[in-house]
Amino acid sequence: MYRAMQIANYIIHLALRGNIDVTNLHLQKILYYLQAESLYRTGDPLFGDNIGKWRLGPVVPNVYHEYKEYGSQPIRGIAEEIVFDEETMEVEFIQFNVNEISEDTKGAIEQPIITLLRQNAFDLVDRTHEHNPWSEYRERIENGERGLEYTNEEIQEYFTQYPERLSEVMRSVREE
């Protein structure tokens, strides 16, 4: 299992390589859909980080904070990852290395990433707001409650019950 920053940095790597703009908002929705796809297809999460239920939909907080300096502008570089070891109380700074992502994982997520990068970030926000794991908490989220998180179980259960919600976003991936 990967850290969300590894997957986020791979998404940005592909976007920069393809000269495709990706904002932090867009990055967050792509992470959510990649996690949903992995849970739906394999039953296993792609990354171990928690996904928060925020006003604009799913957000991986540590990834958000790494890239928030860009605001609503496209991300122009890959961030150095900061990893804190709670046992040793040590901080490690990790440069992104594309080779740390297995070839199997790259093969599974590259086309979905490209497909999601080509979609409008706000369309993805709207879609996530239609999903029960977010919409059931709408009032609490809109009232400013913090700390609400998705569970892998609810994501997997939702997309198992409504696979068309995933396929409508990943349509061009599934048709290939």
Digit-coded pLDDT (tens) for 135-151: 999 999 999 999 999 99
Structure tokens given for 87: 């046992």
The confidence score (pLDDT) of residue 173 equals 46
Residue 115 in this model has a pLDDT that exceeds 70: yes
Mean pLDDT over all residues of the chain?
A: 94
Whether 61 contacts 15, CB under 8 Å: no
Structure tokens given for 162: 């409504």
pLDDT digits (tens, 9 = 90+) for 25-63: 999 999 999 999 999 999 999 999 999 999 999 999 999
Is 33 domain-assigned?
yes
Q: Which residue has the tokens 């996530």?
A: 128
Q: Hey, which bits of 13-163 come out as E strands?
A: 52-54, 57-59, 81-85, 90-94
The confidence score (pLDDT) of residue 174 equals 42
Distance CA 76, CA 16 (A): 8
Is 171 domain-assigned?
no
Residue 176 in this model has a pLDDT that exceeds 50: no
Is 176 domain-assigned?
no
Is 20 domain-assigned?
yes
Rg of the chain's alpha carbons, rounded to an integer?
16
The confidence score (pLDDT) of residue 85 equals 84
Is 78 domain-assigned?
yes
The confidence score (pLDDT) of residue 172 equals 52
